[in-house]
Every structure is written in C-alpha cells, then in structure tokens.
Amino acid sequence: MASISSSPRSVEDIFKDYNARRTGLVRALTYDVDEFYSLCDPEKENLCLYGHPNESWEVTLPAEEVPSELPEPALGINFARDGMKRRDWLSLVAVHSDCWLLSVAFYFGAQLNRNER
C-alpha cells in the first residue's frame, strides 16, 4: 500500500481525508467496477481494497509492517467473489469499506489532543 505523507492535523483535515478516501472507494465500486472485479481474483492471496487520500483506490495485499501505519481494511475480499451474486458481493465489500473508513477517521482523531478536537 502506498503510504500517506503525514497524518491529518485537524478535524477538518481528517474530514477531507475521509471524503477523498471515500471518493476513491465509491469510484472502485461504481465507475471502475469491472476493473475492480477483475483485480479481485479468488486465486490470489488475501487482498484488501484501499482508498487513498488522493481519491484513488487500490486492490493489494495488506501492509507488511506490524503494526501497520493505518487500520487495515477487510482482508480477503476476493475469496467470496465467485461464491456470491456480483451485486451481493459488491454490497459486502462496500459495508467493509465503510467500516474501514470510520476506523481510519477515528484513528486519526485519536491522535488529536483536546484542543484540536
């Protein structure tokens, strides 16, 4: 996963980061859905869908560093792909992506002090 340059330093920056990551994930699950679907080959390793702060998205293996720089998205999104209807699988990935977005926002928020919040 491409690393982020720095952590958001204010509530407004966290919101901008959240919106940009969400835009990337929505793009993956809507406009780029055919490309996203093909990248999630069940024959590959445990894959994750990442939204980046530059509104892009990426399907890749989870970060290798422990602990990772950010909370990890749902692991192994590719395994259920062929066992479910396409729409149901995309809905499942969307739910996991929403949870990941919130966990990233709360991760950044936890780093703010009382005055910054």
Q: How far apart are CA 28 and CA 8, in angstroms?
A: 23
48: part of which helix (H) or strand (E)? strand 48-51
Tell me the three state secondary structure of residue 65.
Answer: coil
pLDDT band of 115, cuts 50, 70, 90: confident
For 73-99, write each residue's pLDDT tens digit: 999 999 999 999 999 999 999 999 999
For 9-66, write each residue's pLDDT tens digit: 899 999 999 999 999 999 999 999 999 999 999 999 899 999 999 999 999 998 887 6
What is the gyration radius of the CA atoms in the chain, in angstroms? 15
pTM of the model: 0.89
